[in-house]
Amino acid sequence: MAEVPHDPSVSVVIPTYRSGPGLDRAIASLDAQTLPQDDLEVLLLDDGSPDGTAARIEQIAAGRANYRAFALEASGWPSRPRNIGVREARGRYVLFLDHDDELYPDALRAAVVLGDAAGADVVNGKEVRTQIARWGLTNYTHDTHDASGEPLRGLLPMTPHKLYRRAFLLEHDVRFPEAPRHLWEDLFFHVDVIRHEPRVALLSSTPFYHWRKTAENNSSSTDGTRLDYSGDPEYWPYLDKLFQLVVGVAEPAIRNELLAQNVHVRLVSQLGQRASGTDDAGVTQARAEVARMLEAYVPAELDLLLPERSRVAITLFRAGHADAAADFLRDGIDRKPDFTVTAVDDAGDGSVTVRGTVAWSRVPGQPFARRTPTGEVVRDLPEPLAGLLAEHGLTPTADVSDAFVDVAVRHAPTRVSWLLPSTSQVRLVEQEDGTLEPAGTFSARFDPTTAAMGGALPTGAHLVLGMCELDGRTGIKRAFSDLPAGTRVGPVVLDHSAQDGLLLRLPAEERPARKGLLSRLRRS
């Protein structure tokens, strides 16, 4: 086994199990790191694969002086290989890399520089998901040495794809829970991390981790990568264990924030999804479990920490109105934003201005708002929901001044998204039948040489995306446009894709204009 020349800055821990082609991609991304290879070690730990994966990682390690391979007895879950990796690691920092994901080229170098400068216990680097463009967009908006003022101390999203100071993990005996199958092991790990009040640095300006969606990690329930276990028979027992762990956190502010986060993400979601279906047994169980966990773990005063939609639903549920809570959570769920770019202009200084409109789709029989006989504008809600909301002082306002549109661009080859400086205005527009529906306008101006948080956008095609928020719901939509493809606008060329909508290509190479315009009917 080849020896690492010295104690490196980073140890990358990769659990493997029946690994497919994605492992080669993960290794290639490590080979491409700007951090010198002699300042990096990689630990490949196979969890008893029944195929040739153990021999494969031995072969990979044999050709690289900074790699080590371990063949372990099967444990059934990535927790044990990760824990062994921490124990065997020599680096000052540890990174957990799933066997089919990849790092961006400057990830480790930038994270080490920031971590050292900040004296950080954790560096939370910009994470990207293959098919979820909005993933992490609102979490990664700036770099900071101290993210203690951010939600959950800057640890969101709570995936283990971060740089952890190994001494911090060892000093506090922070480990992944080991079991043949353990739901949300990442969350249990992070509750243990956050209870020790780590110093977290936030790295947003450098793309860090690409959580890829592949056949390898989507067909299996044994790799620990799922976030949503709705319908799993072990959902409630493991959620109960998670709440038990959270209520044991000593610091009240952290404990309460963790409780509110899990109510919002894991209890409210069950009221709106499972408790609104046709499976009577599932509905009954979901409601009983939510009621039990609220009673056991979540004081009613913590409901004030919830986002408004979740707070209203939980208030109704606690008052015995489970059907109304489910109805409220479903209200407006089919109201989707339609995001259209109407103009792309050259600002004359190397910048580009993108302007357009947003309109939310009408829901048949359920208008957003209406005027009363006295002229007052109110939300149009069905009975008995409207009456129950009024009874508890929870009637939502028809005011849409808090609604907004943020514009982002997403690099098609790498899937990295960047928010652009944007302005928007949403208002209620009267329809032919006298009801009112939300619609608005937006504008974003950006310089491609600085739009990536001070850095240049990479060459290639960039999707234009709108992150549209209304009434507590956020949707991200691709922009479509009737602007002709092939048009050069300052530093970009416009293009279209039936799948991706409007594209901005960098650099602005001349491309032959296509015949006709992209039909609005091609939207998906």
pLDDT digits (tens, 9 = 90+) for 136-154: 999 999 999 999 999 999 9
% of the chain at pLDDT higher than 90: 84
* 509: pLDDT strictly greater than 70: no
Residue 19 domain flag? yes
CATH number, residue 187:
3.90.550.10
Element (H, E) at 230: none
Full DSSP string of 81-108:
HHHHHHHH--SSEEEE--TT-EE-TTHH
* 54: pLDDT strictly greater than 70: yes
Residue 111 domain flag? yes
Domain count of the fold of the chain = 3
**164, 185, 218: which is the final residue of a domain?**
218
* 480: pLDDT strictly greater than 50: yes
Residue 225 domain flag? no
Domain boundaries, position 45: 10-218
Tell me what pLDDT residue 5 has. 53
| Residue 465 φ then ψ, to 5° | -125, 150
Closest CA to 381 of 458, 432, 316: 316
Tell me what pLDDT residue 520 has. 35
353 and 495 fall within a common domain: yes
Residue 355 binned pLDDT confidence (cut-offs 50, 70, 90): very high
**330, 358, 373: which is the final residue of a domain?**
330
Tell me what pLDDT residue 466 has. 97
* 224: pLDDT strictly greater than 70: no
Tell me what pLDDT residue 219 has. 32
Residue 213 domain flag? yes
Residue 277 binned pLDDT confidence (cut-offs 50, 70, 90): low
350 and 323 fall within a common domain: no
Residue 268 domain flag? yes
* 244: pLDDT strictly greater than 90: yes
341, 321 in Cβ contact below 8 A? no
- Is the pTM higher than 0.85? The answer reads yes
Tally of CA atoms within 13 A in the half-sphere of 445 that contains its CB: 8
Tell me what pLDDT residue 449 has. 97
% of the chain at pLDDT higher than 70: 91
176 and 307 fall within a common domain: no
163 and 29 fall within a common domain: yes
Residue 508 binned pLDDT confidence (cut-offs 50, 70, 90): low
452 and 515 fall within a common domain: yes
Residue 353 domain flag? yes
For the segment 301-310, the average pLDDT, to the nearest whole number, is: 96
Q: Which two tokens stand for residue 367?
A: 């208008």
355 and 493 fall within a common domain: yes
Tell me what pLDDT residue 233 has. 85
453 and 354 fall within a common domain: yes
Residue 270 domain flag? yes
Residue 223 domain flag? no
Tell me what pLDDT residue 220 has. 39
* CA dist 225 → 198, 222, 450 (Å): 24, 8, 34
Tell me what pLDDT residue 230 has. 67
387 and 518 fall within a common domain: yes
* 278: pLDDT strictly greater than 70: no
For the segment 215-232, the average pLDDT, to the nearest whole number, is: 52
278 and 351 fall within a common domain: no
Of residues 228 and 379, the one with the higher pLDDT is: 379
Tell me what pLDDT residue 11 has. 99
pLDDT digits (tens, 9 = 90+) for 194-210: 999 999 999 999 999 99
